[in-house]
């Protein structure tokens, strides 16, 4: 994968500061990712994708996470929407939509203003109108929503929950949100007003489909944390070797060395975990992986700022951005508390 990505990684690196400053998605970056085939990494070849493994997707996301976490989460969220179809959709749905997902930006929408962790409480309703469903309600905190052309949406139906593939259209009122971290990933809220969706564009048993999708996407999301942590360590080492205090380079102080050593060891453990979890996608291991990714990324960013001193706290400093980006690992794709619930449920199962 790494031979495929330098062009995209370099472009993403060049755009990172501006995307963070303006909190706007970058259309050129997204177009380049599609042109390189990197928006269909796990989509089977017969549907126009690269047909690669989740592990390969993690490698791409790790590289992007190092330079531009906002863009990395966009690519990850797009694949989450595609994976939802590929893992749970009928043959007909895959044939209709997966080739489209290799050309059009997608978003995956479950969270609502009144329900995030507790998805059984979502209110967005899909009304059965015979040959179609009609969607009414709200979604919020949706990555890619600023420019996405297709949305995979969780809704409540008469007989439970379903996922719906919805093309951006007139009945959707999209409002840009001002993100705190991973900026430039097009975070929005959406109001659905009588949006008609053909029956064939739905996946029944929606909650199960969301869980299947999260099990594979959590190691991918964790790879962003891995990238953030690696970048923080690189920056901290470089700075510690240059900066002098009390007549010495600060890298000569044991206090600094120990901080670097701990972060390096945590990163090594996380890397092994991300890549082994991406191979199994076991639900409990995926939850463990995301929990550890959040801790590792936050600690690496915290240590990097500590080593940079006051300069690291300035708005626009790479380590300050990393600090805001790292916190998102605790929240996106299920909070750290929910990860612990999943792990505990696995431990206590009879
Ligand atoms: C940058 C960003 C991007 C996102 N992108 C997307 C996206 O593309 N699509 C999408 O659908 N959503 C997205 N989200 C939303 C995200 O998935 C939710 O924020 C998350 O699932 C938590 O839901 P909530 O914010 O409603 O918090 P709540 O569920 O209201 O939780 C609030 C607090 O209560 C805690 N809590 C809740 N239940 C329990 C419990 N049983 N035990 C212990 N503690 C509990 C939580 O851990 C948290 O600390 C994104 C969020 C962010 C920040």
Closest ligand 1 atom number to CA of residue 181: 1
Q: What is the pLDDT of residue 200?
A: 96
The pLDDT mean for the chain works out to 97
CB 78 within 8 Å of CB 221: no
pLDDT category at 332 given cuts 50, 70, 90 is very high
Average pLDDT score over residue span 55-65: 97
16 and 121 inside one domain? no
pTM strictly above 0.85: yes
52 and 163 inside one domain? no
> Which CATH number goes with the domain that contains 129?
2.40.110.10
340 and 225 inside one domain? yes
Q: What is the pLDDT of residue 281?
A: 87
- Rounded to whole angstroms, how far apart are CA atoms 223 and 273? 10
- From residue 299, how far is each of 6, 73, 197 by CA, in Å? 27, 20, 44
If you measure from the C-alpha of residue 335 to the centroid of ligand 1, how many angstroms do you get, rounded to a whole number? 5
- Whole domain around residue 38: which residue ranges? 5-102
CA atoms within 13 A on the CB side of 321: 23
Domain count along the chain: 3
328 within ligand 1 shell (Cβ under 6 A)? yes
Average pLDDT score over residue span 68-90: 98
335 within ligand 1 shell (Cβ under 6 A)? yes
CB 196 within 8 Å of CB 134: yes
Instruction: Give the mutation target among 109, 116, 228 for probing the ligand 1 site: most ligand atoms within 8 A of CB.
Output: 116
Bridge partners of residue 317, in order along the sequence: none
The residues near 271 (Cβ < 8 Å, ≥ 6 apart) are: 226
Instruction: Give percent above pLDDT 70 in the chain.
Output: 99
26 and 71 inside one domain? yes
If you measure from the C-alpha of residue 57 to the centroid of ligand 1, how many angstroms do you get, rounded to a whole number? 24
Neighbours of 310 (CB within 10 A): 8
182 within ligand 1 shell (Cβ under 6 A)? yes
Most distant CA pair in the chain: distance in Å?
A: 79
Neighbours of 129 (CB within 10 A): 12
If you measure from the C-alpha of residue 129 to the centroid of ligand 1, how many angstroms do you get, rounded to a whole number? 32
Q: Which positions are annotated as active-site residues?
A: 333
| CA-closest candidate to residue 7, choices 27, 25, 34 | 34
117 within ligand 1 shell (Cβ under 6 A)? yes
Last residue of a domain, one of 67, 102, 137: 102
Which strand (E) or helix (H) includes residue 196? Answer: strand 188-198
Q: What is the pLDDT of residues 1-26, one digit of tens each?
A: 554 689 999 999 999 999 999 999 99
Q: What is the pLDDT of residue 4?
A: 61
Average pLDDT score over residue span 232-255: 98
């Amino acid at each position: 994968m790494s031979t495929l990505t330098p062009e995209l990684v370099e472009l993403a690196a060049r755009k990172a500061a501006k995307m963070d400053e303006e909190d706007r998605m970058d259309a050129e970056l997204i177009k380049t990712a599609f042109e390189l085939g990197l928006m269909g990494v796990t989509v089977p070849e017969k549907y126009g994708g690269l047909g690669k493994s989740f592990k390969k997707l993690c490698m791409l996301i790790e590289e992007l996470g190092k330079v531009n976490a906002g863009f990395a989460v966009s690519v990850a969220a797009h694949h989450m929407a595609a994976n939802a179809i590929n893992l749970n959709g009928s043959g007909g749905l895959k044939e209709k939509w997966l080739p489209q997902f290799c050309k059009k930006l997608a978003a995956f929408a479950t969270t609502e203003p009144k329900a995030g962790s507790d998805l059984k409480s979502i209110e967005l309703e899909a009304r059965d109108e015979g040959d179609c469903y009609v969607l009414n309600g709200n979604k919020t905190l949706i990555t890619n929503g600023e420019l996405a052309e297709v949305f995979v949406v969780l809704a409540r139906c008469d007989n439970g929950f379903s996922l719906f593939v919805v093309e951006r259209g007139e009945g959707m009122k999209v409002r840009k949100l001002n993100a705190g971290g991973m900026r430039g990933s097009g975070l929005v809220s959406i109001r659905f007003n009588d949006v008609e969706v053909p029956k064939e564009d739905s996946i029944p048993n929606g909650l199960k489909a969301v869980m299947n999708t999260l099990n594979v996407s959590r190691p991918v999301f964790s790879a962003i944390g891995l990238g953030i942590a690696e970048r923080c360590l690189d920056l901290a080492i470089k700075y510690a070797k240059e900066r002098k205090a009390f007549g010495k380079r600060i890298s000569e102080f044991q206090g600094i060395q120990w901080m670097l050593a701990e972060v390096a060891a945590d990163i090594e453990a996380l890397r092994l975990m991300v890549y082994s979890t991406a191979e199994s996608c076991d639900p409990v291991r995926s939850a463990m992986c995301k929990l550890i990714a959040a801790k590792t990324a936050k600690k690496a960013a915290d240590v990097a700022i500590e080593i940079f001193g006051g300069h690291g706290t300035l708005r626009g400093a790479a380590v300050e951005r990393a600090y805001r980006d790292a916190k998102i690992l605790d929240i996106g794709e299920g909070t750290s508390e929910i990860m612990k619930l999943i792990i505990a449920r696995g431990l206590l199962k009879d």
